[in-house]
Amino acid sequence: MRVMCVAAARPNFMKIAPIVAALDAGGHESILVHTGQHYDPAMSDVFFDELGLRAPDHHLGVGSGTHGEVTARVLVAFEQLLVDESPDLTVVVGDVNSTLACALASAKAGVPVAHVEAGLRSRDWAMPEEVNRVVVDRVSDLLFASSADAVVNLKDEGYRPDQVHLVGNVMIDTLRSNVERARERDVAARLGIEGRYGVVTLHRPSNVDDPDVFEPMIGALSEISADVPLIFPAHPRTVGRLAGLELPSTFVVVEPLGYLDMVGLLANAAIVLTDSGGIQEETSVLGVPCLTLRDNTERPITVDEGTNRVVGTRPEDIVLNAKLTLAEPPIPRCPALWDGRAAQRIVEVISAGLPTKRPTELP
């Protein structure tokens, strides 16, 4: 089968890498497409280098813009690529704007779509990714879920059982094959931090774009850093928001890190405070306590069967939960099937054949 594999933004690269490898090993022809939604070397190239992902077969170079602009540019460029390549299947991962655009272009062109990480729901329509997740699932033929709760969501929404496959977590495939060499990188020491430390990441528009939300959060994190020094690899979106804010010397802001440095930093952390979805999953597998600075999560499995606590964005809640968690860390647990073999299961399903479209039975 000729399979379009879409990569686009930082969290996609580690998800698509094991799928491309498993497709190639399974005798399929993968066509790797980078939409260019993320383009800074630290947000893109470093992942290709470190994950051994080959250079994309096509780079659409769409760059940044509003949601509409990015989605539209990818939609137009990917539609043409479908004409040029006439693939048998498009595989999209995650929930970024490029995921939506490529799924939509494929569905309109009559190319079957497989969505990896299907069925996650935050039920928060103010979150752009939630819109993307729901629409991508709706136009997909094959829905690959990483956890049992996602399967329940899809069944509740009326998807047919033959479309839905619980395969595990491809991001964890990549984590498991890289964690040992990542641990050796001694990132904290390189950044001048000795002993126990925590890690912060914040980039969601709902947290960083409004100073009335962002600045009190930074105040809470500064307070926590008096107990445990915090390292904050800041996303480009967040860097601008930090300008002019006074931070204590125990709260260290650094450039975005490459994959291995980030995994190494997380693996050896005492606590992680984040609004990222992927980091909730990675910390669960690493057994590192995670506080999610949001009011909801589309990944409740990381709370039920991992090390995550969803604590909201109020400064007093963040400080209190950090103290409680440092005093009594959760016992590490790992969700079922997050065992490093998700991509292999996906390719087994794909190799068995695509479901026939039966539009009258679709939800």
Q: How many residues does the chain have?
A: 363
Does residue 315 bind ligand UD1 (CB under 6 A)?
Answer: no
Nearer Cβ to ligand UD1, position 64 or 86?
64
Task: For residue 43, state whether it binds ligand UD1 (rule: CB under 6 A).
Answer: yes
CB of 310 to ligand UD1, least distance (A): 17
203 touches ligand UD1 by CB under 6 A: yes
Residue with tokens 């048998």: 88
Distance CA 136, CA 90 (A): 12
Catalytic option among 34, 38, 203, 235: 203
62 binds ligand UD1 per the rule CB under 6 A: no
Cα 6 from Cα 244, distance rounded (Å): 38
The answer to whether 9 contacts ligand UD1 (rule: CB under 6 A) is yes
Closer to ligand UD1 by Cβ: residue 178 or 238: 238
Measure the CA–CA gap between 310 and 70, rounded to whole angstroms.
Answer: 30
186: left (phi over 0), alpha (psi -120 to 50) or beta: left
* Contacts with ligand UD1, 156-195, as mask; x by CB under 6 A: ----------------------------------------
The two three-digit tokens of residue 174, written as one number:
């990549």
- Options 5-13, 22-30, 190-198, 261-269: segment touching ligand UD1 (CB under 6 A): 5-13
Q: Which of residues 94 and 340 has its CB atom nearest to ligand UD1 in the complex?
A: 94
Q: How many CB atoms lie within 10 A of CB 284?
A: 27
351 binds ligand UD1 (CB under 6 A): no
Residue of 361, 348, 353, 356 whose CA lies nearest to 26? 348
**Catalytic status, residue 165:** no
Q: Which residue has the tokens 């009335």?
A: 212
* DSSP structure string for 83-125: HHH--SEEEEESSSHHHHHHHHHHHHHT--EEEETTT-----T
Q: Which of 1, 39, 206, 312 binds ligand UD1 (CB under 6 A)?
A: 39
146/344 with CB nearer ligand UD1? 146
**Span of 72-80, 94-102, 169-177, 265-273 interacting with ligand UD1 by CB under 6 A:** 94-102
Q: Min. distance of Cβ 152 from ligand UD1 in angstroms?
A: 23
Please tell me whether residue 344 adopts helix, strand or coil conformation: helix
DSSP state of 61: -
Residues with catalytic roles: 203
**Which residues bind to ligand UD1, rule: CB under 6 A?**
9-11, 37-40, 43, 64, 95-97, 128-129, 203, 235-237
